[in-house]
Structure 1
Amino acid sequence: MKNRLVIKGTLLTHQGSFYVGKEIFSSILFSVVNSWYYSYYENNGELKANISNETAREYGKIKSAINGFTEDLHNLSINYCLFKEINETVHINGHKSNLYISVILENLFTNLRSIYDFLYHFVKITLSEKELKLYPQKDSINNLLAFSKNKNNQDKLPKNIIWILNNIENDLNDIKQIRDNIIHKGKDFLLTRKEGVLFMRVPIKATNSNDNLLPNILNTNEIDYNVEKYLNKIIKTTLKNMEDFGVIITNEISSNSEIKLNLYSISNYCVDEFNEFLINKNSY
């Protein structure tokens, strides 16, 4: 493990290093929202432009969403790294290991759900002042999806934003189903090992029932799902949706001369293993 200048932070990078696989996690969406932020805010967090109080409040919400989004990206990598260490450590009591991993899985799915909700705020970057006034006030991606589907609202959002919202809906529903069952309905992960490989399911009623509340994203006939394969697919899907969203937002604001587009990445001591997990698990 190489020493880093920062334990956990945001880096302004360049085209030559803007790819996944090194010591940074690169993201188009992360870049465009940070480019927006540094175009309108000073380094000390003060607004550069003299804008109305109403617009300033909305900008403040976007700023907070960028901070939360950044933390969730870090948390994804850190929680995966922690999961990997616990899962591969034979010195931890098996029952304790399962308890630790259950909490980490809960954290990971909560992070993924949170990432989708931040998209609600990032759409605002693409809107005109008139569109911003018509934007739904409840800060939820669910509410935005419902708004975008209403035929009376088709001229209140950019067409590409409506398209991408519709495109990510099924994947969002998978995450919502998992998070809601675990957080709101008090369901638990049932973890088992088969030939040293960790599997999971969320029983509907009892631990000995032959069912699983987790969406079958692996398209398998098995009741128990391989944890690493499941995490690999659902995290990759979320990140792909995130990047598709980033491309749409970048295209929508390309004519805005006030926003200077730069490339940004995150770095922390867990990014190496996180990138390795995402890239090199080819069998997943």
Structure 2
Amino acid sequence: MQAKVVVIGSLNMDLVIRAPRLPRPGETLVGESFVTVPGGKGANQAVAVARLGSPVAMIGCVGDDAYGEQLRAGLLDEAIDCSGVQTVKGINSGIASILVDDHSQNAIVIVAGANGQLSPASVQALDALLLDAQVVVCQLEVPLPTVEYSLRRARELGCTVILNPAPAEAPLPAHWYALVDYLIPNESEARALTGVAVDSPGTAQIAARALCEAGVQNVIVTLGSQGVLWMGPDGVEHRPAYAVQAVDTTAAGDTLVGGFAAALARGQAPGEALRLAQAAAALSVTRQGAQPSIPMLADVERLMTP
């Protein structure tokens, strides 16, 4: 099937350590467990789209190493179109070192590896994947010129454009905002983009208003256990989170982004798409790991059924 969603972004192998708490600077802690899990924000979001009901293609780069082979194989197992996943010779695949504590909070360090080789020319050469896509999803774990090209090309083609500005360390280039239909930051990313200390629905609304005034059509700020704050042309709405027992928050945001994209591509109204995305994210935090935690559509629909 022709992909209705194209995800342009990173593929990483996640190196996950569980420990009682996050270490202080200079401190050595004894960990509880270690696993390697396929991840990367782009790949996670592509898996979420696939499991939550829409055909999807992935555009990205892996290294010519064992991790690269595993990352590609994992996406193929999800029936994701990997014709846009390129293998870069002589460079390692991207990795993310993830520390998760007993309160399910995490600290993450990423090394781009092959993700840093995804260029605008690479995406341009794969234009056939974009031509019939309904939704294009980008993040910030690949070079920024590539993100900009992808946003601009998706806008030219009339696609719905979703940008998950992660990891954000500073405001985005001003001319990007008008290229984005849905900007989906978390609390720390919203603060990096606006300077507003986001820790509640009220402060999220202040940050979202600033981003809408900058030119974004819709802003969805994810607030963890406090739900999401959505601001768009029709106003502002705070949606509480589903009540679940969190085990690991890794990839919860990616699950929400992918679920939202999948639902939009299936023709659901944005409000219903966001409801499904929140339910999917809620289920994901009840499971460990990045891609292994992303639920199937049937599981999400059961959670949503009164």
Fold equivalence (TM over 0.5): no
Higher-strand-fraction structure: 2
* Larger RCO (alpha carbons 8 Å, 6+ apart): 1
Higher-helix-fraction structure: 1
TM-score normalized with structure 2 length? 0.30
